[in-house]
Each structure stands twice: as C-alpha cells, then as structure tokens.
A and B are shown apart, each in its own frame.
Chain A
Amino acid sequence: MMIPLPLFVAIPLTTSFIVPFFGQKTKGIATLLANIATTCLLVLSIYVLITGQTGIYQLGKWSIPIGINLVLDGLSALLLLTISIVSFAAMLFSIQYMEQYTAKPKYLCLFLLMVSGMNGVVLSGDIFNMFVFLEIASIASYALVGFGCEHEELEASFKYMVLGSVASMFILFGIGLVYGITGTLNFAYISKIIQSAGLNNGLYFALGMFIVGFGLKAALVPFHAWLPDAHPSAPAPISAMLSGVLIKALGVYALVRIIFNIFGVSIPIGWILVTLGVLSMVIGVFLAVGQWDFKRLLAYHSISQMGYVVLGVGIGAVVLAQGKDPAWASLAILGGLFHLINHSVFKSLLFLTSGSIELSTGSRQLKQLGGLAEKMPMTRTMCTIASAAIAGIPPFNGFWSKLLIVLAAVKAGFYGLAAVTVLVSLVTLISFLKVQRYVFLGDLPEKLSHVKESKGSMAWSMGILACLCIVMGLFLLWGPLRDQILTPAVQVLVQNLYSSDIISMQ
C-alpha cells in the first residue's frame, strides 16, 4: 500500500497544534499525544524503507512545474529513518527529563514542529518549499536552545539565531538568483535547465551562496562558531536532536541534494567539499581535546564527525567528476551516508547519557564528577558503548563507516586524507578515554554520594539507541539489508537520474 507522503508532515504538525491546548495540570495527555505521534512516524518511515517505496506526490493535483510536489527516493527515505529514530528516542527521554522545566506542553509543541520541519525539508521537491520548512525547523530550534532562560542559554540562543538568520538570508538570495536565471522553482526543472543550458557565473554565485548558507546550517568549520555554545546550553534531548539530526537534515542533506542532483558534480565543487570536510575533522577534534565541559566536548566532536560525512561525500564527488570508476565513488558516498546515520545514533546516545548524568549529579564539568561507575552502572555501559562506537572500535557501527571512508580515500589515491582520517579517529579515542576516566573511574566525591541511577523512560530510550549502535554494523555487512537501506541512497547520488526520473514519473 503506497503511503501518502504528506502524512510525514501532517501528523507531527497537527499534533503540535493540538498540544498547546493542554495546561500545566493535564500535561500527561500532551506527553502521551506527542509520543504517539513520534511512534507512528517511526513505524511509517520503517514501512516506507522496507517496501522500498519511491515516487512523487503532487500537492493539490497540480502537475510538476505548476504546483509543489513531494519526492521520496532512497536518500530521503534514509534521512526520514534517521530523523524518526532520533526523535523517537529523544521524545521518550524527555518524558522524565523535562520535569525540571516548566511549560512542558509548549516544549512538546516546538519539538514536534522541529520534527515536521525536518521531514518537510527532506521530502520537498521544490527549492522555496525546502527554505520554508528549513525556516520552521530552525526557528523551533532557536527557541528550544533558549528553553532554560539562564544566562548562558539566552546568549547562546541569540548567537545561534543571528547566524541562522544570516544563513537563511543567504539561501533566500541564492533561490532568488536561481529563479531569476532559470525561471522555475522545481528541483527537477532547474536541473534539467542546468544540464541543457550549462552553468553561467550567476549560477556559480548562487551555488556559492548555497554552500555558505547550508554550510552555516551544517556547522562546517569556517562557520561553526554557533555550535559549541548552542548545543551544550540546550536541554539534553534537544541537543541530542540538534547534533544528532538537525545539522544533517538541514545542512548536509540539502548541500548534497543541491550539489549532486541539481548543479551537477564538478571537480572544483568536489575539492571544496573535501577541504570543508578535512578542516572540520581536524579543527573539531583538536578543539575538543582541551574541553572540560562534557557537553561542549561532545559538541566539538559533532563538528569533527560531520567532517567525516562531508569528506566521504566529497571524495565521491571528486571521483565522479574525474570520471574514474563509479564503483569507487559509490564506495566513498556509501561510507559518508552510513557514517551520517551512525553518527546520529551514537552522538544522540552520548548527549542523552550526559543529560542523565547532569540530572542526577547536577553538573557537567568533568573535574567535579568521578567514580560514577558503581552508582550509575546502566548509564556507564551506555556511555562506554557510545564512546566505543564514536571512536571506531571494531564491533560497533562507527568502525565500519570510518573503515569505508578510509578505504575509499586509499582507493581514490588520496593517501594523505586516509592518514588524516585515521589520526583524527585516534585523537577521538583519546578524548573519549579521558571522558571515561574522569566521569566513571576515579574516586567518588563525597557530595555525589546520594546520586541515584536514572530509570524509567530515560533508561529505555538510552537502551534502544545502545542496541542500535551494536546492531547497525549489520546494515553494511548483511547483503539484503544493505541493498534495502543504503544502496538506493547511494545510487540516487551517483547516477544523478533525479530530474529525468521525476519528469518521467509525472
């Protein structure tokens, strides 16, 4: 049965409009409604992935260039899965965690609006429509970063909002340029015109604006100023959503979709992606080593792990543009996309563990913690699994995707890049050993003697993410599962039949 695509946006949107009706007394019903919404989003996205449904959905029964259409192909199905996994786990976690804040129904409303914004961006086949839904997800995340109304949180959300609005203005100016030159707003028709008429310097400038705008949203290195402040000051489930999936769905997905499917891959663009990736990797990890605040350390690691994803996709772009064997390019892109979904799982698990530690001990500074191993055994195992995954230790999922990226770099002949990747992965391992040493081993300070383990929904959500970390290695190894989930996403980017498919499918 074909699932109508607008359901992915309509369900969270309608629930988010209903939820603010419930006041402080009846917030139990609001929490229940919100969880039902995220659960059925998860079920829908799994169903869509299993049946391998692809296709377009014309809104209002208008044909392609006149109305807006929603596009579902391998790449957007993969992103939908990541969004629903992380939002399901974060919603489950926030049932108990958000008791320490007031105005919970409004928090749930904004959370669901962020999810519907991201679903809208991933599904939309129209460039201005992608901008509007990007704006929804960003404004919801600005407000959620400043949810606690403390000194640091307000300053962080102001800095994040200013940079986010500047990025949106760059993107809107780019859309204006693209509309001025090509005359349409639809992805398929724009790429058809670009393939036939070629790129003039107006479109190059528009592409530069898109790279700056979406680079700011994806917090790649030259534009990463807002991320180390925004993520630590957000409440834990929100920072899990932010670095888990928001910078991917809004930043990397949009960048990849525009570069690969619309503007077409060329050697300079590929090298720009590779340099952005390498810069993010190296600078992110070296800034992370010196951090003593647990969540700031995780935020810097998000930047460096995003560098991995962009590097993998960049190597694929360069290999495609040089016309070498597309099998290598698909290997690199497979590594990049697989790392994207892996990173969203283990990074959100790390942020959730930091949230549960912060809730029980009340502080995030590594120096003030210590010896929590016996007091909080479950959180300790979760944190060790996630740290092993992010550092790339074999049985866990992080190892496989980093291995793929290193293999692709070696096969494509960039030995320097492969060496840098391994070095950065080692430094990540060192910094996460430091985290283990200071948080869980060592002597328990007397003031933390009364610390209790977090139980109930927080334990459940962390548990789900932890076993995903272990199981997701199979995504790559087990043939049929890989062809169902990862290969279609890679083919979308490598073969670039995007516009011809859509116009034929009309």
Chain B
Amino acid sequence: MENLEFYILLLFVIVGALVAVETKNLLSAVICIGAAGFGGSLMFLFLRAPDIAITQIVVEVLALVILIRVTISRDKTFISGDWELVGVIFSVGFLLIIFLAGIKVFDSLPEFGSPSFVANSELQDTASQHYIEHGVNDTGAANIVTSVILDYRAYDTLGEATVLFTSIVGAVIILRKHSRTPLEIGS
C-alpha cells in the first residue's frame, strides 16, 4: 500500500480517541486527546499542509492547558462508570447504521490521491487551479495558503477573527463574578 504512513497515523488517532472516550480517569482522557491531536498534526505534515500542522500543534498545546486546568483542580477525577445498557445499545446500533451508510458513500468521492480540482477540472475552471497558477502574481505572497486566506477569501478570515472574538467575550461574560446588580427590581 503506497500511503502506508496515513493508515498508521490515522489508526493511532482512532486508538487515542477510543481510549480517551472509554477511560475512567479524566486526566488520562485529556492526555489521550492530546496524543490524538499530535498524531493528527503529524498527519497534516505528511499530507503536505505545513501551515495547518503548525497551527494544529500550537492550538493543541493551548487546548491541553485549558483542558488540564479543568480536570486537575477538581478533586474528583474518577467518574462513576454507570453503564445504563439501553441507551448505549440503542446509540451504538444507530451509529452503526450511519457508519454503514457512510461507507457506501465514499466511493463517489474522487480517489484519495487525486484532489477534486484535478478530478473534475474538465467541468469548469476550479478556483484551486487559479490559486496555484496566479497566486503569486495576483497577491504577491509566496505562500499560496496565506494568499487564499487573506486576499482571495479574506471575508472568511474576518468571520474567523470574529468567531474567536465572540467566544472570548462569551467566556468573559460567563466567568464574571456578579451576574445581577444588587438592586433587584420587583423581586
């Protein structure tokens, strides 16, 4: 199999995720998520996406700091594993059906090695072909991914920066101490 490294890495991420879901100790669950994330970032590197690999590792570090902050300070790290059978059986069965339906679907996607702008480039001139050929001339940036982010699709990145801004203001609101003014009107 020619892209063997992807299978190994994806298997590693899946095993890490499974262990994170099933383990009893919260802290080890968070560590497994971290390991799965680093496996994913390695996979990005092998998939020729260095930008994403850097961002994934660094975001992974901060996510781990946030997650560990939650689990370590709480004394109760062990969760009572009460398996109520009916809910688990029903959801596992339901998810199995979705998975089988999903498997059949992926053959309509272009084969793994050839991206979509190569596979159906005869339908119409796709945007990615334009980005690769005229990326440097149009925007002057050598890194085509940055030129796509900040010039061709800069509106996405404005939305992106606003998403981060909203979640930070939201977190500040939720973590504030006094939520209601002392003068309660009417109650």
Contact = CB atoms under 8 A, between A and B. Distances in A.
B185 interface: yes
B156 A129 contact: yes
A202 B159 contact: no
A109 B181 CA distance: 19
Given A17-B165, A136-B162, A65 B170 contact: no
Contact of A202 (B108, B181, B186): B108
B181 A135 contact: no
A139 B163 contact: yes
A480 B124 CA distance: 41
A289 interface: no
Chain A CB within 10 A, most for which of B105, B131, B155: B155
Interface string A97-141: 001111100110110010011001000000011001101100110
B62 interface: no
A193 interface: yes
A113 B162 contact: yes
B123 A183 contact: yes
B109 A180 contact: yes
A106 to B, nearest CB: 5
A201 B108 contact: yes
Contact of A183 (B117, B130, B166, B176): B117
A107 B173 contact: yes
A148 B148 CA distance: 40
B176 A103 contact: yes
B13 to A, nearest CB: 16
A177 B174 contact: no
B187 interface: yes
Contacts of A106: 169, 172-173
Most buried by B among A17, A189, A205: A205
Given A120-B159, A143-B169, A202-B108, A360 B186 contact: yes
B152 A62 contact: yes
Given A101-B181, A106-B172, A135 B104 contact: no
Contact of A101 (B102, B124, B180): B180
B72 interface: no
B162 A146 contact: no
Contact of A100 (B125, B170, B171, B180): B180
A338 B108 CA distance: 39
Given A13-B162, A135-B163, A177-B105, A182 B120 contact: yes
B110 to A, nearest CB: 7
A148 B169 contact: no
Interface residues of A, number: 68
Given A17-B165, A200-B108, A360-B186, A136 B179 contact: no
Given A177-B105, A183-B123, A362-B186, A132 B170 contact: no
Nearest to B172: A106
A140 B181 contact: no
Contacts of B96: none
Nearest to A96: B185
Which of A139, A361, A452 lies at the interface centre, i.e. has the most chain B CB atoms within 10 A of its CB?
A139
A179 B128 CA distance: 11
Q: Interface size bucket, B side?
A: 35 or more
B106 interface: yes
B179 A102 contact: yes
Interface in B142-187: 151-156, 158-160, 162-163, 165-167, 169-174, 176, 178-181, 183-187
Contacts of A148: 179-180
B110 A180 contact: yes
Contacts of B101: 205
Nearest to A63: B130
A110 B173 contact: yes
Do most interface residues of chain A lie in helix, strand or loop, or is the interface mixed?
helix
A68 interface: yes
Contacts of A67: 152-153
A481 to B, nearest CB: 34
A2 interface: no
Task: Tell which of B106, B116, B154, B173 has the most Cβ of chain A within 10 Å.
Answer: B173
A371 interface: no
Contacts of A205: 101-102, 105
A201 B155 contact: no
Contacts of A117: 162
Interface in B70-129: 101-102, 104-106, 108-110, 116-117, 119-121, 123-128
A506 to B, nearest CB: 13
Contacts of B104: 201
A178 to B, nearest CB: 10
A86 B106 CA distance: 43
25 contacts: A13-B158, A20-B169, A66-B127, A100-B185, A106-B169, A110-B169, A110-B173, A113-B165, A129-B159, A135-B159, A139-B170, A143-B170, A148-B179, A181-B108, A183-B117, A183-B126, A193-B120, A196-B123, A201-B105, A201-B108, A202-B108, A205-B105, A360-B186, A362-B186, A362-B187
Top 6 nearest A-B pairs (CB, nearest first) are A143-B170, A362-B187, A202-B108, A132-B159, A149-B179, A183-B116
Interface of B: 101-102, 104-106, 108-110, 116-117, 119-121, 123-128, 130-131, 151-156, 158-160, 162-163, 165-167, 169-174, 176, 178-181, 183-187
Interface of A: 13, 17, 20, 59-60, 62, 65-68, 99-103, 106-107, 109-110, 113, 116-117, 120, 128-129, 132-133, 135-136, 139-140, 142-144, 146-150, 154, 157, 177, 179-186, 189, 192-193, 196-197, 200-205, 359-363, 451-452
Given A101-B181, A146-B173, A157-B174, 4 more contacts: A116-B162, A140-B166, A143-B171, A202-B109
